[in-house]
Structures are given as structure tokens and as C-alpha cells.
Structure 1
Amino acid sequence: MARILITNDDGFQAPGIRALAPAIAELGHEVVVVAPLDDQSGVGSARTATVNRPIQTVVEEAGGISYRGVAGTPALAVTLATIGAFGPAPDLVLSGINRGHNIGVPIFHSGTVAAALTAAGQGISGVAISIEGASPTHWATAATMAGEALTWIASEPAGTVLSLNVPDLPLDQLAGVRHAALTPITRERLVATTAPTGEPMITVAPPQPNPPADSDEALLRAGYVTVSPLIGIRVLPEDDAAIALAKRLSSYR
């Protein structure tokens, strides 16, 4: 079985990670849990650490599993684990279970998703798992789906990343599993408002009707587990734009 790093952005004491780690351990995998000390939602791929300075860590034991909290972001937790701070580097990374879905193009802000992408940057495949709702109850459903995704991704090329969103439903009430496109950025729900103090403030607008039928938003709403394969930073083959820019820059020499 594999050595699995489990992390999140909700904090090492969050219910999602406390549900995920035992479920993966029960599959026979070696589980290493390293996650932020506190809630780091929305930090994206930020890596808060200063070279040559110690990083605060806290360890709690529960159910035979060590839960290690680090003072920093999910990307930092993954980086520390992959460079050998807590023993051998992991074979695979699971990030979650995040409280609340991660859908649409803005998922690059998600610390949960960024943890899996950070692993990919180190040549390690990862799965980001999120469950729908602000106060979900069916953590076991999401943990089961994470285990299934882990089995699949283990045989894929190194650096493969999946983002899974799971409805907050019993396992036998799921509509199924579907590949999902990311909901377009045009459906961003953030709205700029003004606080009573006169300072700018961000609020969340109500969901818009009729998202694209093949999108993660629409499929999740219909009760499907959504699977979105992601590609991290990469360089595309040379194209006309690059050639044109190179020609323009040559005039400065």
C-alpha cells in the first residue's frame, strides 16, 4: 500500500480531515497527516515560511493517527512533507475533506485545491476533495469517494490532479459520478459592497439560475459527484503570439 499525505485548508482539527484520515488508513495505506494549525481557506498556493527559521508544529493523537498542525498554509504543509520534514516523501496527496464545495474557475483561490497542485509541482499526484454545504453531515460519503479516487489516481502518471466535489448525501442517494467542466468565471458570486464604516467589503450573491449543464455547479446541484482533472503550471508549445513577441523584442537589441 502507499504512503499518503493528508492535508486541508480548514485546519488539522477540522471534522473533514478527522473523517478522511481514518477512512484512508482503514484501506491499508500509511497515513501522514500534516495540515495548517488554523483555518487557511482561500489562501491559494501561498507558502508562508521564512528560510532558516523554525516552523511551529503541534501534534494530536486520535484513533491511532497523529494529526500534525503547522503554522502556515496548505501549500507549506505539502512542501514540508514532500521534502522530507516528516519522514519519507509521500506517494500521493489527499487534500480535504473541505467544508463547502470548490467549484468554478475561482478554485485557484482554494487552499484545498492548491495543496494538490503543489504536490503536482513536486511530481506527486493529488486529489482535492470538497463536500457541499456550510454544515455538512455526510463526511463518510466524501471519504468513500476520496478512497475510490485515490485507487484510480495511483495508476495514473505522476503529477495528475483531480478536484472532487461531493453532494452532502448518503452514499446510496448519490446520482452518480460525472466529469465536470469548471463553471465559467462570469458566474462569480462575489459582490463588492460598502461596510457601515465606509470601507469596501466583499459579500456573496445568491446562486444564479441555469449554470451550464456540463459544469461542476449544475452537476453537483443535481446530486452528482463531480470530477474535474486539473493541470498545474505548464509551458505550451511555441505559438504565433510567442513568435510575434520575440520579433518585437529583437528590435531592442
Structure 2
Amino acid sequence: MAPEQLRVLITNDDGYRAPGIRALAPAIVELGYDVLVVAPLEDESGVGSARAGMVGRPIRTASEEEAGVTYVGIDGTPALAVTLASVGAFGRAPDLVLSGINRGHNIGVPIFHSGTVAAALTAAGQGTSAVAISIDSEDPAHWQTAAAVAGEALSWIVPEPAGTVLTINVPDRPLDRLAGVRHASLAPIKRSRITGTTAPTGEPMIELEAPRPNPVADSDEALLAAGFVTVTPIVGIREVKDDAAATALAKRLA
């Protein structure tokens, strides 16, 4: 199917005015896709797939135009943006969803906390294929590199089964300095940098530790550090049918 026949919803968890989404949307428009941009009014990082308070209340929106692209902000999460678009709140429902460009990487098993990744998984729950794309810097200098990779990734998922989801991490470097593109496993949960501590007030607090040495080979953590674009197909919640413990339980309940 030609790009102009495909409607792409672009969302993120950094907010509809964030530089990542402002770099991404024009790049996808330039490829010929019919682009719809709907994202949170404010930063909603780390909200996962939350859609709290979505039922039975009007949802505040705002919009502005920049370089011919209309950016719609909603008072809610990226998962809510995907849900609203999927039910036709902004016209024709999207054929594909592109979530990002997230500021900072999304690697390892804990990606389910990411609002950027959760938006893509929410799309899959609606039967729509999606890409979540992140750049490996909290202060990126090369947004256009990630935007170019995102545009290419859309062509990867078009021929795949509906509900396909890719999470992609891009090094913050010029396009011609990328080491390549590699399939990557998710770094195991034991590599998580999240740690608990206590604030001076005595209240509990979560912080991020510095990156750890010796990442697991072929994981997204290791390959991204080596300069590769990492690509990992992921799935959301589904019934387990090929696990020994689940099979044993099913037999007991039969």
C-alpha cells in the first residue's frame, strides 16, 4: 500500500510540544503519509498504559500548527491518545502508530513502564501495528537520525500481521556514523538501573543508577552502547499457551 493511503498516528509521552515529536512529524509527512499528531499536553513519561479518568468526562485539548503540521495536545496519556484516535475522535482511525521520538532510551525488560512503548502496545490491542522509537540521550543532538530510522521502520511493519509492534533505540549520532541495525533481545530485569532510596525528609524515592559495565551480549543495552540501532519485536498481554506451568494449571482446572 502506498504511503499516501496510510494514516499514521504520531504520539509520544514527552508532550505535544516536545522536540522529538516536532522532528518526527515533518519527516513522516515528507515521506507521503497521511499524518495525525495527538500527544499529551504535558510530559507523561513513565505512565505506562494508564488511561485513568477517561470514561465519562470531556477531555481537554489544544492544538497548534508548525511548518504545515497540526499538533493536537490532550489532557491525558499517550495510551489515551491512541485510544481516542482508534475510535475516530480525530477523524479516520490510523492504519499505523508511531510513538516517539522519546528523549532517552527505552531498553530492557522494564520498558513496560514507558509511556512511549505502552502507546505502541495499546495500538496493538486495537489491532494496529506500531513502532516505538527512542534516542539514546537525555539531551539529543541528532533528532533527524532517529526520524529517518522511524520512517524506514514504518515500511518494515506495513507487510507484517496487524498488531505487530517494534521498539527501536537509536544512538545519538549522525546517520552515517551508525554502526548498523541489529535485532536485539531485551536486557534482563537484573540489569535495571532503578533503585530505591530515602529522601532527606525520610520519604521513599526512586532514582536511576549509572549504567552498569559488561552488558549482556546481543541485548539492546549492549548493542546500543556499541552504536547500533536496536530493533526488538514485542507483544502485550496475551494468554500463555506454550509454558509448562501454564499447561499444568490448565490441566488441573479442566
Give the TM-score, by structure 2 length. 0.95
What is the count of residue pairs matched by the alignment?
250
Name the SS of the counterpart of 1:164 in structure 2. Answer: strand
The aligned counterpart of 1:13 is 17
Give the residue type in structure 2 aligned to 1:60: E
The aligned counterpart of 2:84 is 80
Give the residue type in structure 1 aligned to 2:144: A
Name the SS of the counterpart of 2:21 in structure 1. Answer: helix
TM-superposed deviation, 1:240: 5.0
Give the residue type in structure 2 aligned to 1:84: G
Matched, 1:57 2:61: yes
2:192 to 184, 188, 192: 188
C-alpha distance in 2, partners of 1:28/1:123? 23
Name the SS of the counterpart of 1:163 in structure 2. Answer: strand
The aligned counterpart of 2:178 is 174
Name the SS of the counterpart of 2:39 in structure 1. Answer: strand
Which protein has the larger Cα radius of gyration, Structure 1 or Structure 2? Answer: 1
C-alpha distance in 2, partners of 1:117/1:24? 20
Q: Is the 8 A contact 1:49 1:76 kept in 2?
A: no
Report the CA distance shift for 1:28/1:241 in structure 2 as closer, same or farther (over 3 A): same
Name the SS of the counterpart of 1:58 in structure 2. Answer: strand
Which 10-residue stretch deviates more, 79-88 or 226-235?
226-235
TM-superposed deviation, 1:132: 0.6
Q: Is the 8 A contact 2:44 2:115 kept in 1?
A: yes
TM-superposed deviation, 1:32: 0.2
Q: Is the 8 A contact 2:15 2:42 kept in 1?
A: yes
C-alpha distance in 1, partners of 2:197/2:247? 43
Identical residues among aligned pairs (%): 72
* CA-to-aligned-CA distance 1:139-178 (integer Å, 9 cap, x gap): 0000000000001111111000000000000000000000
TM-superposed deviation, 1:234: 1.5
The aligned counterpart of 2:237 is 233
Give the residue type in structure 2 aligned to 1:14: A
Report the CA distance shift for 1:140/1:83 in structure 2 as closer, same or farther (over 3 A): same
The aligned counterpart of 1:43 is 47
Q: Is the 8 A contact 1:43 1:109 kept in 2?
A: yes
C-alpha distance in 2, partners of 1:178/1:208? 21
Name the SS of the counterpart of 1:229 in structure 2. Answer: strand
The aligned counterpart of 1:108 is 112
TM-superposed deviation, 1:233: 1.6
C-alpha distance in 1, partners of 2:165/2:114? 14
The aligned counterpart of 2:121 is 117
Which 10-residue stretch deviates more, 186-195 or 18-27?
186-195
Report the CA distance shift for 1:243/1:228 in structure 2 as closer, same or farther (over 3 A): closer
Q: Is the 8 A contact 1:5 1:32 kept in 2?
A: yes
Matched, 1:221 2:251: no
The aligned counterpart of 1:205 is 209
Give the TM-score, by structure 1 length. 0.95
1:67 to 53, 68, 71: 71
Give the residue type in structure 2 aligned to 1:161: V
The aligned counterpart of 1:98 is 102
The aligned counterpart of 2:130 is 126
* CA-to-aligned-CA distance 1:163-203 (integer Å, 9 cap, x gap): 00000000000000000000000011112111111111111
Report the CA distance shift for 1:176/1:87 in structure 2 as closer, same or farther (over 3 A): same
Ranges of 4+ aligned residues in structure 1 off by more than 4 Å: 246-250
C-alpha distance in 2, partners of 1:32/1:235? 32
Matches within 5 A, 1:17-28: 17-28=21-32
Gaps of 5+ in 2: none
* CA-to-aligned-CA distance 1:99-156 (integer Å, 9 cap, x gap): 0000000000000000000000000000000001110010000000000000111111
Name the SS of the counterpart of 1:97 in structure 2. Answer: strand
* RMSD (CA atoms): 1.4
